[in-house]
Amino acid sequence: MTDAALLSLLVPAVGGQGGGVLLDWIVDAALIDGYPVHGTSIPGVAQRTGSTTYYVELSGERNPAADDTPIFSLYPVPGALDVLLAPEFLEVGRSIELGFPSPGRTTIIASTHRLYSIHEKIVTGRGIFPIEKLHAAARAFSKRLIAFDALALAREHGTEANAVLLGALAGSGVLPLRGDAYREAIQAKGVQVEANLRGFEAGLAVAAGSAAGPGEGSRGVGTPLATDPSPGPAADPAAVTRPDVERTAAGFPEGLRAIVREALGRLIDYQDRAYAEKYLGRLRPFVEGGDLELARLVARHLAVWMTYEDAVRVAQLKTRASRFERIRRDKGVGAGAIVVTDYLKPDLDEIYGVLPHRLVAPFARWAERRWPHGRPTLGQHVKTTTVSGFFRVWMLTWLRPLRPVSYRAREEHARMDRWLAAVARCATWDTALACEVARAAQLVKGYGDVRRRMTAHFDRLLEAVLGAAEREAAAGGRFEASRSLASRYRTLVLQGPDSEAAAAALAAETASQP
Amino acid sequence: MGERSFAEDVKQLGYGEGEILRGEGILAITKALLQSGVSYVGGYPGAPVSYLIDVLADANDPLLKPLGIYFEQSGSEAAAAALLGASINYPMRGAVTWKSVVGTNVASDALSHVASAGVIGGSVIVIGEDYGEGASILQERTHSTALKSSIPLLDPRNSLDSFARFVGEGFGLSEASNEPVFFSIRIRACHMRGTLKCHDNVRPAISMRSPLAAPSFSIDRINLPPFTYQMEAQKFEKRLPAAKRYIVERGLNEHFRGDEDHVGIVMQGGLWNTTLRGLHVLGLADTRGRTPIPLMVLNAIHPLVPEELIEFLRGKQRVFVVEEGMPNYIERELKALAHEARLPVEIQGKELLSPHGEYVPHLVIGGLRRFVTSAGVKSQSTVAIEDRYRALTAHREKVGDVLPEPVAKRPPSFCTGCPERPVFSALKILRQREPEIGDTHVAADIGCSTFSTQAPFNVGNSVLGYGMGLASSSAVSPLFGKRTISVMGDGGFWHNGLTNGVANAMYNRQDSVLVILDNFYAAATGQHHVPSTGKNARNEPVPMTIPDALRGLGVKWIRTVNSYRIAEVIGTMREALTTRVPGLKVVIAKNECMLERQRRERPRLRREAAAGRQVVQPRFGVDPDVCTGDHSCMRLNGCPSLTLRESPDPLRDDPIAHVDDTCVGCGVCGEVAHAAVLCPSFYEVKVITNPTWWTRLVDRLRGAVIRRLAAVGT
């Protein structure tokens, strides 16, 4: 049997990414160059942001006789794929799972940017699929890999990732089509022709410049996550470079300096120098304890916790001149004007939280009994780019001197002290256990009901772990159970509300054990 | 209407003899209808055949009207099937289309009646088999409907030329057998791109331009006893035998002979490409489909022609049947035939393949490999076949080494800015914050709104059928300790919900809450018009409204809410769930489908901006230093543009929320943060391009004051 070559190309995309247009361009380019071709897709509901695929097959032989064209398959055959052209990086992983690309045959051309799936987003902690694993899998399952952030490149050229990927496909030379065939296809399609041609050329340059050796050709590792270009949020830039802060930080071991420097700047910005001193006073015993990992954990979590987001802090962050600059930059406003409306809805706790403890404590105790779930709230939409709106929020920042005696401060610092005491107590038993207890502070986050719920978990974790550790200490154990309890409880809560019941059950079960 | 503009395709539908059409499979089918001289075309849109409706709607004025062809987007598949009633009495050709198997189920009453009475004008039903990857419905195949109603079923090979040929043959087969004919097409085949050599369109003899003058009455076409008995007899004595004769005479099924005459493969036409590719990768066929293995390609899978099949089976030792879906009628028929004809042939099918599911290449290849290695062929050694199979699959064993954990799933969901999504945010917030009323049974429906059952909402306890949400809670509601909620879209409401849902609930005095998501279109199928859109598919004005229809059925408690205002939706739902008013309470949550709105608005704004006029575009954002990264907003919102980014704060562990540049500024993230009392991180920014001098002046003055204050700041 004589056989004509067949080339196959799969586009694993996310609905709404323009995969259909990409497919049309490739099919049209093949037709322009006289290669019998066939493309298909499964739009349907997957178009609505789900995983979807587009598939192209073309004959390796140009202008064959009419009765001598290949029988095209409507489906990709796992293991018999020549090109995987992926407009999103997680979908590369999915294609590998399904067995489509193979190391002996497939060229993977992929954009490394991520569109996070809903299952990655709804995790309370970090639910993002590790991008290093995707890179390793893409390398292992390709003959040649061209991976770069096509979306970023597209944005630079005012276009979409699909045009850039078409360019990369052309530049890779893996299909026998001329560059001009693709260009003609873009022109014939007539959709945003100029911008798409710019994107095409940019993608072509990247692929043409990439090395062609097996497993090579990756242009960097892309961006695992879009990073915010603005400087550290709380830190007033001036504070960071203050010589006394530098001096203080220099007094700490090498591995702690960056954290301490960041923390001090932030604490001074948050309250004042005395407050920063208080932080240092709390941190020092752990530094002197000698375990660097533990000291780093305490230093990091304590700084975040001590700068908890009360109404005053939110007002401070919302009324910085640098904030409006950041918004203009992020939203690409250029020469235009902006009107910013803030969605603020402090609940009762957050309102009386900023007032002096002595004044509001009786009321707070009553309110907590009166509204055990969900306190009354004060919802408002404030236009912070108008003078009156800005002024209303900005006035709140003047309550800052009251903060040390506020109701909220009393509550937060009491809890911090309980946490520090627990960490210190555990450190006398087992450093690894102390580290786990220190990490529990990661649970303390959010606002309003969320923060109350997370704090309740934190309290329960602390109580359960301390109880278990006491029992293990008495029994002369090695604290394995307590360590595991602390770690598992935190992990479960950070998975999301559905796992919180399991966490609570875990704590209850441990407590009931002899 | 529709997701795309079809101007180019409409032009191609007008092509004449010898011109080459380029497009998808479904376009070739549509063209073939016009080449067959149809008098009428109708159908109900649904993937994968919505396109047929879309393109004909656009072709109505330029192409169909001049030919006198009547076109309608029917109210449901039942209405579409009933269109075929025209061909019972009058010798005119007609075609209808829908998504199968669900559409066939809806149509089945009318369909059985048409199939019983029989037709004198050719009638073709194009059924889009929404089966396998990308399907949005339950998984059944249409084969059994064809069998029970004696409707011939075509399942042709996949190429545009083949589709066009078999549409024509379908009309011929229908007229020869006096039965409507199913033309089955799979999802990928519908969207397969290729070329078709065209013929001229045919002007129908009976048309809107040359209408019927007199009615035709024939009592033996009335579905009443005793005629129904005659009809039943005719099906098996006259109609199906006539169909078989037509199939043989026209050579609809293809017998490819080959050197390996001790074996053979019988397949559905629609599985030709996959089976031939399977033989190719195992070294038993070339890429042009030439193979030494004898093949029987059944482009007509009902009725089967025993003589054809026995001829194929004769002299063979082993035969393999590639037949998708269960029950395996073809395989069982073949076994019965072989038995009756006393042929010593072993017939295998499902036992070598997966008993269920779409026949994707790796399943078919696996089955072929088992078949040819056990049957033995001269043209390839078993070792060579096994080597080829291993080369194809060896890498799959190593997937677990690099990806030990499964990659995150990515279910379909509501689009950015979708007006339905916030209603489910509201229901989830109500469930969490007021479980005594909000944590109740929710009957979901078919449409985009079905995504509510997915993450992050998981709202909706059952999905039963299009427009059946309310009806499906009829027994739950009186047997449940709280008031229950049913949800349906405007598409579902008009399709089936009005009668089977609302009328049934009113008639049975059901005390529950119905939420109608009114986004002006059947959005899931591609923004098709519905009776309350204001215009029909032919763009003629229609004055029907949902509240009028409800009032007509006697519904008293009707509230219409702006779906983006989550607090308003929650408040109205609370009222509906707690009011002392008995009976059905209907909340209409209203706003236009954002896909359609953006398709219109985006080019307009671009034009305005290019012309230098002031354009105001709302966008949402998250202050990265205010967000603490607990992701509660994601669990209540689920907007694709609300995503994650690494926290700029080096002291924090978890990624924070971020609104990316696909945001359309619908405001739901702010509304959710407000309604669920989440956090103060969200802001709306109105971006004003080409500001007028007044806007610039105000902006500058405000900026000056604010900068001064900020500098004094703390």
Low-confidence ranges of chain A (pLDDT < 50): 1-2, 211-239
Report CA torsion sign: B628, B632, B635, B637: negative
Q: Closest CB to A103: pick one of B158, B395, B651.
A: B395
Instruction: Taking each helix axis as running N to C, give the angle between helix A193-209 and helix A161-172, from 0 to 180 degrees, rounded to the nearest 10.
Output: 40
Instruction: Taking each helix axis as running N to C, give the angle between helix B668-675 and helix B421-433, from 0 to 180 degrees, rounded to the nearest 10.
Output: 10
Tell me the pLDDT tens digit for each residue of B380-415.
999 999 999 999 999 999 999 999 999 999 988 999
DSSP labels, A47-90: GTTSEEEEEEEEESSSS--GGG-----SSPPTT--SEEEESSHH
Q: What is the mean pLDDT of residues B667-674?
A: 93
What does the pLDDT read at residue A238?
A: 47
CA distance A114 to chain B (A): 10
Tell me the pLDDT tens digit for each residue of B260-314.
999 999 999 999 999 999 999 999 999 999 999 999 999 999 999 999 999 999 9
How far is it, in rounded angstroms, from Cα B518 to Cα B530? 10
Query: What percentage of chain B reaches a pLDDT higher than 70?
Result: 99
CA distance A233 to chain B (A): 5
Domain ranges within chain A, ordered by starting residue:
6-209, 228-307, 311-405, 419-512
How far is it, in rounded angstroms, from Cα A232 to Cα A258? 12
Strand order in the sheet with B295-298: B254-256, B295-298, B263-268, B318-322, B346-348
Task: Judge: A314–B680 Cβ closer than 8 Å, yes or no.
Answer: yes
Q: Is B219 on the interface with A (CB under 8 A)?
A: no
Cβ contacts (< 8 Å) between B691 and chain A: which residues?
Answer: 336-337
Task: Judge: B395–A343 Cβ closer than 8 Å, yes or no.
Answer: no
What does the pLDDT read at residue A237?
A: 47
Task: Judge: B455–A118 Cβ closer than 8 Å, yes or no.
Answer: yes
Q: Hey, which residues 504-563 in chain B have their CB within 8 Å of chain A?
A: 524
Which residue does chain B place closest to A7, by CA atoms? B287
Res B479 pLDDT > 50: yes
How far is it, in rounded angstroms, from Cα A279 to Cα A361? 25
Q: Is A275 on the interface with B (CB under 8 A)?
A: no
How far is it, in rounded angstroms, from Cα A55 to Cα A193? 23
Residue B1's pLDDT band (cuts 50, 70, 90)? very low
Q: Is A79 on the interface with B (CB under 8 A)?
A: yes
**Bond before B101 cis per omega within 30 degrees:** yes
Q: Is A345 on the interface with B (CB under 8 A)?
A: yes
Helix segments in A141-178, DSSP class H: 150-156, 161-172
Tell me which CATH homologous superfamily contains domain B7-211+219-247: Thiamin diphosphate (ThDP)-binding fold, Pyr/PP domains (3.40.50.970)
Mean pLDDT, chain B, whole residue set: 95
Task: Judge: B638–A118 Cβ closer than 8 Å, yes or no.
Answer: yes
Q: Is B612 on the interface with A (CB under 8 A)?
A: no
Which residue does chain B place closest to A379, by CA atoms? B674
CA distance A477 to chain B (A): 31
Q: Is B599 on the interface with A (CB under 8 A)?
A: no
Task: Judge: B684–A258 Cβ closer than 8 Å, yes or no.
Answer: no
Tell me which of A116-130, A363-377, B78-92, B325-339 is least confident. Answer: A363-377
What does the pLDDT read at residue A161?
A: 95
Report CA torsion sign: B396, B401, B403, B406: positive
CB pairs under 8 A between A and B: 391
Amino acid of residue B355: P
The structural architecture, per CATH, of the domain B254-394 is 3-Layer(aba) Sandwich (3.40)
Task: Judge: B619–A324 Cβ closer than 8 Å, yes or no.
Answer: no
Res B210 pLDDT > 90: yes
Tell me the pLDDT tens digit for each residue of A365-416.
888 888 877 788 888 899 999 999 999 999 999 999 999 999 999 999 999 9
Domain ranges within chain B, ordered by starting residue:
7-211+219-247, 254-394, 421-596, 614-712
Tell me the pLDDT tens digit for each residue of B543-555.
999 999 999 999 9
Q: Closest CB to B396: pick one of A24, A78, A344.
A: A78
8 A C-beta contact, residue A251 and residue A290: no
CA distance B623 to chain A (A): 8
Which residue does chain B place closest to A117, by CA atoms? B410
How far is it, in rounded angstroms, from Cα B541 to Cα B549? 17
Task: Judge: A122–B648 Cβ closer than 8 Å, yes or no.
Answer: no
8 A C-beta contact, residue B71 and residue B40: yes
Task: Judge: A336–B635 Cβ closer than 8 Å, yes or no.
Answer: no
Task: Judge: A228–B646 Cβ closer than 8 Å, yes or no.
Answer: yes
8 A C-beta contact, residue A13 and residue A113: no
Residue B483 neighbours by CB distance under 10 Å: 17
Phi, psi dihedral angles at B686 (to 5 degrees): -90, 115
Q: Hey, which residues 130-169 in chain A have their CB within 8 Å of chain B?
A: 133-134, 136-137, 140-141, 155
CA distance B428 to chain A (A): 13
Q: Is A478 on the interface with B (CB under 8 A)?
A: no
Cβ contacts (< 8 Å) between B194 and chain A: which residues?
Answer: 38
Task: Judge: B702–A117 Cβ closer than 8 Å, yes or no.
Answer: no
The tokens for A378 are 């004060």
8 A C-beta contact, residue A416 and residue A302: yes
How far is it, in rounded angstroms, from Cα B451 to Cα B425? 12
How far is it, in rounded angstroms, from Cα B189 to Cα B154? 14
> Looking at chain B, how many residues does it have?
714
Q: How big is chain B by its Cα radius of gyration, in Å?
A: 30
Cβ contacts (< 8 Å) between B158 and chain A: which residues?
Answer: 74
How far is it, in rounded angstroms, from Cα B371 to Cα B346? 11
How far is it, in rounded angstroms, from Cα B154 to Cα B42? 19
Tell me the pLDDT tens digit for each residue of B639-655.
999 999 999 999 998 99
Task: Judge: A337–B695 Cβ closer than 8 Å, yes or no.
Answer: yes
Pairing of the two strands B20-24 and B193-197 = antiparallel
What does the pLDDT read at residue A339?
A: 94
Task: Judge: A71–B274 Cβ closer than 8 Å, yes or no.
Answer: no
Task: Judge: A345–B677 Cβ closer than 8 Å, yes or no.
Answer: yes
CATH of domain B614-712: 3.30.70
Task: Judge: A116–B643 Cβ closer than 8 Å, yes or no.
Answer: yes
Domain B421-596 belongs in CATH node 3.40.50.970: yes
Same fold, B7-211+219-247 and B254-394: yes
Q: Is A19 on the interface with B (CB under 8 A)?
A: no
CA distance B346 to chain A (A): 28
Task: Judge: A99–B362 Cβ closer than 8 Å, yes or no.
Answer: yes
Q: Which CATH class is domain A6-209?
A: alpha beta
Task: Judge: B634–A121 Cβ closer than 8 Å, yes or no.
Answer: yes
Q: Hey, which residues 23-62 in chain B have their CB within 8 Å of chain A?
A: 47-48
**Bond before B48 cis per omega within 30 degrees:** yes
How far is it, in rounded angstroms, from Cα A9 to Cα A81? 6
Q: Is B661 on the interface with A (CB under 8 A)?
A: yes
Cβ contacts (< 8 Å) between B632 and chain A: which residues?
Answer: 446, 450
Task: Judge: B455–A122 Cβ closer than 8 Å, yes or no.
Answer: yes
What does the pLDDT read at residue A4?
A: 65
8 A C-beta contact, residue A409 and residue A403: yes
The H-or-E segment that residue A7 falls in is strand A6-14
What does the pLDDT read at residue A234?
A: 42
Which residue does chain B place closest to A334, by CA atoms? B689
Task: Judge: B524–A331 Cβ closer than 8 Å, yes or no.
Answer: no
8 A C-beta contact, residue A472 and residue A513: no
Tell me which of A47-51, B92-96, B125-129, B195-199 is least confident. Answer: A47-51
